[in-house]
Structure 1
């Protein structure tokens, strides 16, 4: 019996962390905001009641004063939904409350909370206009009810201004925190997109490698098998055993080469955390001679001229794959005994690749467009080059690529 694994629970956030989370949260989208504001409105109404009862008996509210005081706290339930409307309703209740000479300290908390909400949820312009309006009404009431209360005017004005600026500061702080979170999320999305892009590029690279390898090898095997079958069917009584043996040996060599390259590709797929520079040796210009030799064995009359001393690994690999695919298309589509010319030379800081033949053009229809030409163009673009492929001026088919040598962009195969 397997022992029961102890369950671990995430530690509860501390009070300070919860307070900061509440401050950082957008008040307009906070969860359960109506319920929380209703509870706070009840608490503020209770505090106002206690302040009114503990004040002077001469300023204790009468029945109308109590009704106005408690009614002023009801709209606080929706203070975050409609802050300006709530402030207007509160002022409508509090203005006659103060005019009736009731306890002036009791409704101060509700007024300041609404002012803070207006400042924390609105623009600076709206906050300043609202503060000016509230101060104007307050100073007017104070002038009518207590003309000599200069200190009272300063005290009330100071609290109003303080809560307004506190709300503005909190609003800017929330915007700052939101911008930090947004930048972090944008950076995370960028990392994810970069990872997906790298995966897509790697899949495309592997698809190109497998296409070039399998198309080339299978085409050669098909040609060599046809040669053996032709020898067997031409004159069964006088078998050319040497030709048949050579064709079978060529098939075996092609299979061994293909198996080795497939194994290398699969090993790269199985490896974890392989860097782009650690994918193993790339095929290069020194392998073009083997491609020419293999094409000759398949029946093509190939002339080659490689006049390049050296090239960056990625550029050499791209040139190798382009020549490989071009010769594969010649063997497959150009007809019997095509004449092919392969040229590689350096000119104006670029490696020029040219493969021309005198056979028929490759068969590509909308229903079967193939991936050879697409793969060759992708090979060229992977190192910042270009490739043109199409019928030649004098018949046949030609492939021409320009691969910059001094502007290598990566190590793709």
Structure 2
């Protein structure tokens, strides 16, 4: 593997300069060290200016001490910019008052002013700038009353530095707002992705529960029937009944395998944004009723609806499937069930009632009722489930009832002539 070249690993000079301008100086790494270096460089420059130029008299020991004292506060300019300016201004004013070289302390003064302008508000910057200009005008009037050019030069430099600092401050705020918006958008995308993953996991869990719970319950009931036929009277074995029970088990396994295959194919499809595969609807309710009858239930089916949206039809199918599964598991032997799906203007009303004993309160609740409620909410509907009115507590025959109201986007057509409910009683 080739070694990374320095040009490829290090940012260019222009990029580093823009990075320094863009970031807030108060949060920059190694700020104190960099400011100490800057103060030392400005002090060297001030010494050179004091020795090589003739603007005022050359500093003596007191002048050099004042010059050093004006540069030392720059070490803390990032954290206390206003205090730094005051600590710089005091020795600089004394330096000018003693008529030392007037150009020597200018760089450190401008750096202190620039720091105040980039870290403070515009109002504070203008007030401080006015005070500095007033002090400069006063010192110039005392030391050089006839120097109009010097007066204009001082004022021009101060105004230029202050406005440059204000401009940099606004530019940093602009860059920070862009970065913040980008980070917020990235967080929003991540939250949306997590939400979609959670919704997809919930949907898959719901589909697998509806599929496996229903199929395994039916297989268990049919296996019990076959075992009962085999052990009830071995000498007079009813081979026809055994064969029918085994055929029912095989049919249930084939149906479960087909639905499981469809679910797995949907999971493998990565291009489809909301692929759900072919979902059963109202036309699948008679098959559910037949499988429940094969498990020993007496099912009465009444369907008066047409042209439902696919999502609503799929929700109806899954709710009825889970409700019949619960009837077969918990309602006791030979329960009677009535399934009604009737369309109304803008909604579909669904009810599944039975006269069984209902689930055992001592049992740990499963995910069936939760899944049914989630199915109803997924299409904007509501679902209620519990012991039916007039049950055992009210002197009736007991039982459990599941009712749901599922909105339909389009008003359904006028219902057809009610079909004769499909009724099947298990042979005694």
Q: TM-score range by the shorter chain?
A: over 0.9
Residue 256 of structure 2, aligned match among 247, 255, 258:
258
How far did 1:364 drift? 4.9
- 1:364·1:370 contact (CA, 8 Å) conserved in 2? no
| Secondary structure in 1 matching 2:229 | helix
Residue 397 of structure 1, aligned match among 397, 400, 422:
400
The answer to whether the aligner puts 1:375 opposite 2:389 as a matched pair is no
Q: Distance in 1 between matches of 2:165 and 2:357?
A: 79
> How do 1:233-382 residues align onto structure 2 when only pairs under 5 Å count?
233-276=231-274, 278-365=275-362, 368-382=364-378
How far did 1:7 drift? 5.0
Q: Distance in 1 between matches of 2:111 and 2:164?
A: 11
How far did 1:206 drift? 0.6
Change (3 A) 1:99 1:58: closer
Two-structure CA RMSD over aligned residues (Å): 1.7
Q: TM-score, with normalisation over the residues of structure 2? A: 0.90
Change (3 A) 1:275 1:58: closer
Residue 78 of structure 2, aligned match among 77, 80, 83:
80
Change (3 A) 1:76 1:382: same
- Kindly provide the CA deviation profile for residues 119-163 of structure 1, in whole angstroms up to 9, marking residues without a partner as x: 101122221222222222222222222233333222212211221
> How do 1:161-200 residues align onto structure 2 when only pairs under 5 Å count?
161-200=159-198
The answer to whether the aligner puts 1:91 opposite 2:89 as a matched pair is yes
Q: Distance in 1 between matches of 2:160 and 2:325?
A: 81
How far did 1:67 drift? 1.2
- Kindly provide the CA deviation profile for residues 202-243 of structure 1, in whole angstroms up to 9, marking residues without a partner as x: 110110011101110111011111111222222221111111
**Residue matched to 1:144:** 142
| Secondary structure in 1 matching 2:234 | coil
Change (3 A) 1:66 1:342: same
Q: Distance in 2 between matches of 1:142 and 1:356?
A: 100
Q: Distance in 1 between matches of 2:279 and 2:3?
A: 51
Residue 59 of structure 2, aligned match among 58, 61, 80:
61
Q: Distance in 2 between matches of 1:11 and 1:294?
A: 69
Q: Distance in 1 between matches of 2:313 and 2:361?
A: 27
Q: TM-score, with normalisation over the residues of structure 1? A: 0.93
- 2:211·2:256 contact (CA, 8 Å) conserved in 1? yes
**Residue matched to 1:157:** 155
Change (3 A) 1:405 1:134: same
How far did 1:394 drift? 2.0
Residue 387 of structure 1, aligned match among 380, 383, 387:
383
Change (3 A) 1:313 1:364: farther
8-17 vs 78-87, greater mean Cα deviation: 8-17
| Secondary structure in 2 matching 1:20 | helix
Q: Distance in 2 between matches of 1:291 and 1:339?
A: 14
Q: Distance in 2 between matches of 1:38 and 1:364?
A: 76
| Secondary structure in 2 matching 1:28 | helix
- 2:263·2:277 contact (CA, 8 Å) conserved in 1? no
Residue 131 of structure 1, aligned match among 129, 132, 147:
129
- 1:231·1:240 contact (CA, 8 Å) conserved in 2? yes
78-87 vs 9-18, greater mean Cα deviation: 9-18
Q: Distance in 2 between matches of 1:360 and 1:264?
A: 35
Q: How many residues align?
A: 402
- 1:349·1:404 contact (CA, 8 Å) conserved in 2? yes
